[in-house]
Amino acid sequence: MTKSAIIVGVDEVGRGPLVGSVVAGAVILPDDFYLPELTDSKKLSEKKREILYAQITEQCQWAVGESDANEIDSINILQGTMLAMKRAVENLNIKYDRVLVDGNRCPELHNCRAIIKGDLSEPVISAASIIAKVTRDRQMFELDKLHPKYGFSKHKGYGTRQHLEALAEFGAIDNQHRFSFSPIKNLYHH
């Protein structure tokens, strides 16, 4: 009997927000794992994502990797994203055969293939996108408890009107906001 190839799916969440980390998920699905609902995490309701997250984390090998706001500011969002994905795979701490990444670019990992819209076509990438999204959303709920005036639990750090108004009124939060992103940069460099 031949051993199945160990395929790692990777996806990230949080490139666009003005606050927090970019978070990547890395997942290995067991051969018998089947969840027909697996798709791009953004297409699922929050409740559905939480249910799938529980199933994935119980039955699969998984890990996350992050690049925080300070690191993003010092190396840029693209490099931060690549680093988060690389860290997620390294945090699995397993010898793999292949890595499938959502998007058009691979981090520095051997046998890596980027697949555009891979979160829709590859269940292993869909699972990684759910891990990343739920992890990052939970971080935003925690940040919302510490800084309720900004509404992070609602907009998840994206540059919504509510978030921009809060920034104008209360300023940016050190170590959380991305000072290299233009709405925040503009706030401090008039």
> Is 7-188 assigned to CATH 3.40.50.300?
no
E-strand spans in 84-153?
98-102, 112-115
Annotated binding-site residue? 108? no
3-state secondary structure of 166: helix
The CA-atom distances, in angstroms, between 62 and each of 121, 128, 136 are 19, 8, 15
173: Cα within 13 Å, side-chain hemisphere: 18
Q: Token pair for residue 110?
A: 């051997």
Annotated binding-site residue? 73? no
In the predicted model, what is the mean pLDDT of the chain?
94
For residue range 92-129, what is the model confidence (pLDDT) as tens digits? Answer: 999 999 999 999 999 999 999 999 999 999 999 999 99
Using CA atoms, how far apart are residues 181 and 189, in angstroms rounded to an integer? 12
Instruction: Give the pLDDT of the chain (190 residues) as one tens digit per residue.
Output: 456 899 999 999 999 999 999 999 999 999 888 887 887 778 889 999 999 999 999 999 999 999 999 999 999 999 999 999 999 999 999 999 999 999 999 999 999 999 999 999 999 999 999 999 999 999 999 999 999 999 999 999 999 999 999 999 999 999 999 999 998 998 876 4
Q: Where are the domains of the chain?
A: 7-188
Annotated binding-site residue? 40? no
